[in-house]
């Protein structure tokens, strides 16, 4: 893996939450170009709140978020999206009344036509079901198919950093393995950077580094190969 020396995303002493409550209590978090970062933590740890704050759907209370060394705290969701930061939310976000094909096409809106075509072919290669069901209305897809469509939309977008909140949720074990392997392939083939919030232990097979979040505080951060898998699974994945 080749990574650049400066992080593309750098979060410093971030505090965020709802109303007067702070859910994320002052955390630091760095992501380097071309890596897969796993964010693990039990239910309620604050993973979704944290990712939503980076995407801009939740406003931070304190701390700084830098994208390529530029502070983006004051930028809107759309401005961050234009920079290349995209979140695939926990509840797979799709346009329910549009076809599978139209969902994918509309997400490529910032790309030129040739690029969208190339990425569409790539998405069909890794998720063949999205080709066979391209004329189907999205809200009639199964939960697993919806998740694949949401991830496919992330790939087809021009996002440089794709954050996926619980990619494995609702998927059968075999599909989880396949999806995570495909995410690794996406990283290798397209140079995208990925942040995956996960509670499935299989994340340890694909992530380059892992951050462990618990009760809104970052408990550890290390290269996956240095981690004690049993400890991570027991303490951060409720296994």
Ligand X SMILES: Nc1ncnc2c1ncn2[C@@H]1O[C@H](COP(=O)(O)OP(=O)(O)OP(=O)(O)O)[C@@H](O)[C@H]1O
Region near ligand X per CB under 6 A, out of 38-46, 111-119, 121-129, 171-179: 38-46
x/- track of binding to Mg ion for residues 41-80 (CB under 5 A): ------xx--------------------------------
Bridge partners (DSSP) listed for residue 9: 31, 67
Considering the complex, what minimum distance in angstroms separates the CB of residue 1 from ligand X? 27
Beta-ladder partners of 39: 197, 211
Cβ atoms of 38 and 204 closer than 8 Å:
yes
Question: By the 8 A CB rule, do 168 and 202 touch?
Answer: yes
d(Cα 49, Cα 52) in Å, to the nearest integer?
A: 5
Asked if 150 and 95 touch (Cβ cutoff 8 Å), the reply is: no
- x-or-dash string of contact with ligand X, 71-100, rule CB under 6 A: -------------------x----------
Burial state string for 168-188 with b = 16 or more CB within 10 A and e = fewer than 16: bbbbeeeebbebbebbbebbe
How is residue 200 written in tokens? 């499935």
Q: Is residue 212 involved in binding ligand X (CB under 6 A)? A: no
| Contact between 77 and 56 (Cβ < 8 Å) | yes
Pattern 89-128, binding to Mg ion, x per CB under 5 A?
-x--------------------------------------
The minimum distance between CB 165 and ligand X, in angstroms, equals 7
For the bound state, the minimum distance from the C-beta of residue 58 to ligand X, rounded and expressed in Å, comes to 8
Residue 191 binding ligand X, by CB under 6 A: no
Which lies closer to ligand X via its Cβ, residue 33 or residue 198?
A: 198
**Choice from 49, 53, 182, 193 touching ligand X (CB under 6 A):** 49
Taking CB under 6 A as the criterion, which residues in 6-25 touch ligand X?
18, 23
| Unique residue bearing structure tokens 């994208």 | 67
Binding of ligand X by 44 (CB under 6 A): yes
Element (DSSP H or E) covering residue 119: helix 113-126
Quick check: helix, strand or coil at residue 25? strand
Binding site for Mg ion (CB under 5 A): 47-48, 90
Binding site for ligand X (CB under 6 A): 18, 23, 41, 43-49, 90, 199
């Amino acid at each position: 893996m080749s990574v650049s020396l400066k992080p593309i995303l750098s979060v410093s002493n971030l505090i965020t939450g709802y109303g007067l409550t702070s859910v994320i209590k002052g955390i630091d978090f760095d992501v380097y170009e071309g890596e897969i970062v796993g964010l693990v933590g039990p239910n309620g740890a604050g993973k979704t709140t944290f990712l939503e704050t980076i995407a801009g759907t939740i406003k931070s209370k304190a701390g700084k978020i830098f994208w390529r060394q530029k502070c983006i705290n004051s930028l809107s969701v759309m401005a961050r999206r234009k920079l290349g930061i995209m979140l695939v939310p926990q509840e797979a976000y799709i346009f329910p009344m549009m076809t599978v094909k139209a969902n994918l096409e509309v997400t490529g809106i910032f790309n030129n036509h040739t690029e969208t075509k190339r990425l569409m072919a790539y998405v069909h290669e890794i998720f063949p079901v999205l080709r066979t069901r391209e004329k189907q209305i999205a809200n009639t897809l199964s939960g697993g198919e919806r998740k694949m469509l949401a991830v496919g939309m992330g790939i087809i977008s021009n996002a440089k950093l794709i954050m996926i909140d619980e990619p494995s949720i609702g998927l059968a074990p075999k599909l989880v393995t396949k999806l995570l392997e495909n995410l690794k392939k996406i990283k290798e083939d397209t140079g995208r950077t990925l942040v995956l919030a996960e509670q499935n232990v299989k994340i340890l097979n694909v992530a380059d580094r892992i951050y462990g979040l618990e009760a809104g505080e970052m408990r550890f951060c290390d290269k996956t190969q240095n981690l004690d898998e049993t400890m991570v699974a027991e303490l951060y994945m409720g296994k």
